[in-house]
């Protein structure tokens, strides 16, 4: 039954955003198309991250610590991609300045990614 709840939630979010999407299609068609392309590229980026995750999975018995480290790697990968996507996608409201240039957010996410990866490979 929980699966149905998740499906209903996803459909409700889609329906709630549909008017804004249609408005963007009418007012900024080139920006809308660029956003779709960038979302497709981001989906490929995430798929590449999961492919690397599957390659890193140990063949034998895995410990909970290694699973946690691999989770840190994939979360860092996905969030850093989302940060980069946020910087290049057309937007109508400016995000905070500290997100638009290389800074603390990049350092934290790259630290999570490479710290988890190095700890996983070292353990």
Alpha-carbon distance values, 37 to 44, 51, 92 (Å): 11, 21, 18
- What is d(CA 82, CA 46) in angstroms, rounded to the nearest whole number? 10
Beta carbons of 120 and 70 less than 8 angstroms apart: yes
Q: Which two tokens stand for residue 120?
A: 């996983």
Domain ranges of the chain: 29-122
- Give tens-digit pLDDT for 75-92: 999 999 999 999 998 888
- Give tens-digit pLDDT for 8-61: 998 999 899 899 889 989 999 999 999 999 999 999 999 999 999 888 887 766
User: 69 Cβ partners below 8 Å, 6+ apart?
Assistant: 116, 117, 119, 120, 123
pTM assigned to the model: 0.80
């Amino acid at each position: 039954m929980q699966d149905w709840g998740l499906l209903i939630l996803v459909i409700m979010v889609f329906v709630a955003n549909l008017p804004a999407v249609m408005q963007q299609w009418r007012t900024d068609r080139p920006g809308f198309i660029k956003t779709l392309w960038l979302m497709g590229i981001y989906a490929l980026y995430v798929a590449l991250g999961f492919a690397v995750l599957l390659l890193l999975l140990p063949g034998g018995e895995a410990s909970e610590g290694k699973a946690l480290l691999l989770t840190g790697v994939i979360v860092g990968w996905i969030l850093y991609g989302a940060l980069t996507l946020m910087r290049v996608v057309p937007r109508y409201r400016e995000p905070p300045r500290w997100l638009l240039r290389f800074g603390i957010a990049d350092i934290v996410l790259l630290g999570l990614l490479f710290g988890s990866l190095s700890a996983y490979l070292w353990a």
